[in-house]
Structure 1
Amino acid sequence: MPSPRPLRLLLAALLVAVHAWGLWGISADRLAVRVPPPVAKQEVVMILPAASPTPPPEPPLTPPPPKHQAKPPKAAPPLPTKPAPIAPTDPPKKAPATLAAPATPSAEEWALAGQYTLKNSKRYRHTWGQHVRSLMGTAVEGPDQGAVRFEVEIAPDGSLARLDTLWSTSAKAEQLARQAIQQMPPLPPTPTGKPLVFQRTVSFQPFETDGPPLYKNDCQPDAPRFSNPFAWDGQAAQARGHQAPPPPMSPQELAECLKQLPKDSLEAESAQMRRQLEQGWSSTISR
């Protein structure tokens, strides 16, 4: 009976050999060269583009002009043409301004004016001027408009004694004013029974009216008129002139004076303010 040791060694050697044989088979299969199958041949066909036409020959280059060659003269610029004249167009015509004549004083107004003795018959003078303007008609803007100033003298019986033109800005206005004065009816006697001399401006313009005067200050004494205190006629003795203020009214005279004063209207107030503005506030004496 053989010994167990050599038998074990033989079995071990067989196991090692089998194991090595398996490993070698796997490695040989991996290391085997695999030849690819043959590939069919392919023909390559190249398509060339069509031949382009022959380009035309280039024109010969022109040599540049020499530097010393004179430059051609520049053409003269065209003369400016004058624009066609524009026909003038007339501006739109505007209607001229007009101002109707004031109302003719009534018989009642003339009766009250014939009794007013204050301030050189102030109410009589105003009524006379209003009557003249009412007979002159409507004033129209234009060359005929203007004003005229007269010096008038009324006789005690109310008739016209004298009429002088001091100045005039329109011949038409003066003509119409004189015609109106000749057409006036007989006037009442003067308030004082004496000749009445005064100056009056008649306006014949479409933007100016002669409003009624104020009467509230007519009982106050007149302010002294200015006179040059150094005036000398060359013959009399030189002395400085001095005007004495007028004497004040007595209570009875003041009461009688206040009875004559009519009630002032709003038109009279606005007319007085306008006159003061035109005069530059140089005087507060109403006309």
Structure 2
Amino acid sequence: MAAPSAPTAEEWAFAAKYTNKNSKGYRYSWGQQVRSMMGTAVEGPDQGVVRFRVEIAPDGTLARLDTLWTTSAVAEQLARKAIENMPPLPPTPTGKPLIFEKTISFTPFASDAPPIYKDDCLPDPPMFRNPFAWDGRSAQVRDETAPVAKLDPQAMEECLRQLPQDSIEAEMAHDQRVMDQWGQNELGH
């Protein structure tokens, strides 16, 4: 699979101002830039996947890069070389350091699809906590989940103003992920 094209100037301009969901646009553009600089992926022993913990300084420079895991030393080496040779990046959208984890796939059959932005203004659903969990020492009390905080209308309007139009590719990739997860034949039996 040929390397995907690098993010355009317009995509980087959007990424540099999109603050929702831990600067989702910036994180996606960063990963796309790295993968585009890694070259063509060929099926064989050198293909693989590598996951990094990345810290970008407020001015857009790389502050820290840690390898969390990798399935190929060659893929990690190519990704690190691409990261070293990246062009100057725009400042982070929030003006603060941007810390995230990113998986780079150097395989001939997988690509990082564009993200979907349409639900970014909605509050995150509460994490499931077992209300009946007990530590064995304290009094047995049922935990109540906290209600989801609603955005005030003015903040919601400001958030909606930032949202871009989702691309057809992003919608198709989202639908494919849902089908891969839930469209298994075994579920119908």
TM-score by length of structure 2 reads 0.87
Partner of 1:129: 31
* Residue 206 (structure 1) aligned to one of 102, 108, 111: 108
CA RMSD of aligned residues (A): 2.0
Distance 1:241 1:161 in 2: 40
Partner of 1:217: 119
Partner of 1:268: 170
Distance 1:201 1:165 in 2: 10
Distance 1:183 1:237 in 2: 57
The alignment covers a number of residue pairs equal to: 182
Identity of aligned residues (%): 65
Distance 2:114 2:77 in 1: 24
Partner of 1:112: 14
Partner of 1:145: 47
Residues 135 and 245 of structure 1, relative CA distance in 2, 3 Å threshold: farther
Give 1:240-259 correspondences, 5 Å limit. Answer: 240-259=142-161
Give the Å deviation of 1:222.
0.8
Partner of 2:62: 160
**What do the CA deviations read for 1:26-81 (whole angstroms, capped 9, x no partner)?**
xxxxxxxxxxxxxxxxxxxxxxxxxxxxxxxxxxxxxxxxxxxxxxxxxxxxxxxx
Residues 114 and 258 of structure 1, relative CA distance in 2, 3 Å threshold: same
Distance 1:222 1:265 in 2: 23
Residues 205 and 255 of structure 1, relative CA distance in 2, 3 Å threshold: same
* Residue 173 (structure 1) aligned to one of 71, 75, 79: 75
TM-score by length of structure 1 reads 0.59
Residues 238 and 161 of structure 1, relative CA distance in 2, 3 Å threshold: farther
| Structure with the bigger percentage of helix | 2
Distance 1:279 1:201 in 2: 19
Residues 133 and 244 of structure 1, relative CA distance in 2, 3 Å threshold: same
Which consecutive residues of structure 1, in runs of 5 or more, have no partner in the other structure? 1-98, 282-287
Which consecutive residues of structure 2, in runs of 5 or more, have no partner in the other structure? 184-189
